[in-house]
């Protein structure tokens, strides 16, 4: 079984998908983490464009069973689960994710990771591009202010102090870049169920998805 959960930044995709995966006994895969990893590889190697594509193609990226992401680059393995969540990476990732060759590498990797198991995968193009045949597709949305509020909590927990206005401006900019790019842009699949999570609790969204996918 494949479940696709797409939507803009901060719409609650990953929080909800992790719990739904547990409820249904399937694997959660965070596609955004792989794009963030590509941006991180660009930061540590100083590479861009075709050189970055080359570096990414030689890198190994693996999730462990707890969902931690490990990067092996030049023979050295590190847990990059936290370093890919910084505001610096958030500001860079959309430009990296807009590169066609990067998208091909990540999409191949995601399909391979999901090939032997049932998954719930969250992202921007899962229902439209990565798994157009997914049995269940959801598209989560929420007001930009509410999404900024959620992101601010994540940043605060990591020790970053940013104003809600700055975060809101950043996510609006990122959504615009993600929606307007040429290759596999952020888009609701025609057959996806749209859920506006602005005034819903996490538990409510989890039950909508769990119940829909259990039927």
Question: For ligand C5P, which residue of 28, 35, 131, 139 counts as binding (CB under 6 A)?
Answer: 35
Which single residue is written with the structure tokens 């842009």? 185
Q: Is 124 or 150 the residue whose CB approaches ligand C5P more closely?
A: 124
Q: Is 8 or 73 the residue whose CB approaches ligand C5P more closely?
A: 8
Closest to 100 (Cα-Cα) out of 182, 189, 187:
182
Question: Of 28-36, 52-60, 132-140, 193-201, which part binds ligand C5P (CB under 6 A)?
Answer: 28-36
Q: Is 94 or 197 the residue whose CB approaches ligand C5P more closely?
A: 94
**C-alpha distances in angstroms, 184 versus 50, 100, 192?**
19, 9, 16
Contact status: 123 vs ligand C5P (CB under 6 A): yes
Closest to 85 (Cα-Cα) out of 170, 160, 176, 178:
160
Provide the mask over 77-96, with x wherever binding to ligand C5P is found by CB under 6 A and - wherever it is not. Answer: ----------------xx--
Question: In angstroms, what is the minimal distance from the CB of 210 to ligand C5P?
Answer: 21
Question: In angstroms, what is the minimal distance from the CB of 51 to ligand C5P?
Answer: 20
What the block records as the tokens of 173 is 């900019």
For 37, other C-beta atoms within 10 Å of its C-beta total 26
Distance CA 14, CA 20 (A): 10
Contact status: 31 vs ligand C5P (CB under 6 A): yes
Contact status: 109 vs ligand C5P (CB under 6 A): no
* Own/partner pairs, 202-206, CB within 8 angstroms, 24+ separation: 202/12, 202/15, 202/16, 202/19, 205/12, 205/16, 205/140, 206/16, 206/19, 206/20, 206/23
Contact status: 32 vs ligand C5P (CB under 6 A): yes
- Please count the helices (runs of H) and the strands (runs of E) in the chain: 8, 8
Contact status: 29 vs ligand C5P (CB under 6 A): no
Q: Is 48 or 211 the residue whose CB approaches ligand C5P more closely?
A: 48
Contact status: 124 vs ligand C5P (CB under 6 A): yes
Question: In angstroms, what is the minimal distance from the CB of 126 to ligand C5P?
Answer: 6
Is the Cβ–Cβ distance between 124 and 33 less than 8 Å?
Answer: no
Contact status: 174 vs ligand C5P (CB under 6 A): yes
Contacts with ligand C5P by CB under 6 A lie at 9, 31-32, 35-36, 93-94, 97, 123-126, 174, 178
């Amino acid at each position: 079984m494949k479940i696709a959960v797409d939507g803009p930044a901060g719409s609650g995709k990953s929080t909800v998908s992790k719990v739904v995966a547990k409820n249904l006994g399937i694997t959660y895969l965070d596609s955004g983490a792989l794009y963030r990893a590509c941006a991180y590889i660009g930061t540590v190697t100083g590479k861009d464009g075709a050189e970055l594509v080359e570096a990414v193609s030689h890198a190994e990226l693996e999730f462990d069973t707890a969902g931690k992401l490990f990067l092996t680059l030049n023979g050295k393995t590190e847990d990059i689960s936290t370093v890919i969540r910084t505001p610096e990476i958030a500001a860079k990732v959309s430009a990296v994710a807009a590169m066609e060759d990067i998208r091909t590498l990540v999409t191949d990797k995601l399909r391979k990771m999901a090939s032997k198991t049932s998954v719930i995968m969250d992202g921007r193009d899962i229902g439209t591009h990565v798994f157009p045949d997914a049995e269940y597709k959801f598209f989560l949305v929420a007001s930009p202010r509410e999404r900024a509020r959620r992101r601010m909590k994540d940043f605060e927990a990591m020790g970053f102090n940013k104003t809600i206005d700055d975060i809101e401006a950043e996510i609006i900019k990122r959504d615009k870049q993600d929606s307007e790019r040429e290759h596999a842009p952020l888009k609701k699949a025609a057959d996806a169920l749209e859920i506006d999570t602005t005034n819903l609790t996490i538990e409510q969204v989890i039950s909508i998805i769990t119940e829909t996918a259990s039927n």
